[in-house]
Amino acid sequence: MGTHTALVRQCALMAALVAVVAVLSPPAARIWVAAAGAVSLAVFVAVSLSRHRQIQKLTVQIDEVLHNGRTVRFEKCREGDVAVLTNELEKMVSRLARATELLQKERSGLADSLADVSHQIRTPLTAAELMLAAVEREEDPRERKRLLRRLEGQMERISWLVTTLLKIAKVDAGAIRVQHAPVNVASCAARAASPLETALDLRDVALRLDIPVTAQFTGDELWTAEAVENILKNCMENTPAGGSITVVANETPLATILRICDTGPGIAPDDLPHIFDRFYRGGNAAAEECGESDDAEPRLCAAAPEGFGIGLSLAQALVSAQGGTLQAANRPYGGAEFTITFPKLVV
Four-residue CA torsion sign, 89, 95, 98, 100: negative
Give the residue among 286, 282, 288 at the shortest CA–CA distance from 312.
Answer: 282
Residues 184 and 146: beta-carbon distance below 8 Å: no
Q: How far apart are CA 338 and CA 340, in angstroms?
A: 7
Query: 112-173 — its CATH code?
Result: 1.10.287
Residues 342 and 323: beta-carbon distance below 8 Å: yes
Average pLDDT, the chain: 78
Averaged pLDDT for residues 244-257: 92
pLDDT of residue 302: 37
> Does the 181-343 domain belong in CATH 3.40.50.1820?
no
pLDDT of residue 72: 52
Note the pLDDT tens digit of each residue in 191-237.
999 989 988 998 999 999 999 999 999 999 999 999 999 999 989 98
Note the pLDDT tens digit of each residue in 109-149.
667 666 666 766 776 777 778 888 888 888 888 888 888 88
Give the residue among 336, 166, 133 at the shortest CA–CA distance from 243.
Answer: 336
Give the residue among 18, 77, 66 at the shortest CA–CA distance from 42.
Answer: 18
Rg (CA), the chain: 35
Give the residue among 201, 196, 328 at the shortest CA–CA distance from 266.
Answer: 328
Residues 338 and 267: beta-carbon distance below 8 Å: no
Confidence at 244, pLDDT banded by 50, 70, 90: very high
Confidence at 290, pLDDT banded by 50, 70, 90: very low
DSSP state of 35: H
Q: Which residue has the higher pLDDT, 298 or 211?
A: 211
Residues 161 and 304: beta-carbon distance below 8 Å: yes
Check whether 261 has a pLDDT greater than 90. Answer: yes
Residues 242 and 204: beta-carbon distance below 8 Å: yes
Note the pLDDT tens digit of each residue in 268-277.
888 888 888 8
Provide the residue type at 281 as one letter.
R
Least confident of 67-81, 226-240, 245-259: 67-81
Check whether 346 has a pLDDT greater than 60. Answer: no
**Close Cβ partners of 271 (under 8 Å, ≥ 6 residues apart):** 280, 282, 283, 299, 300
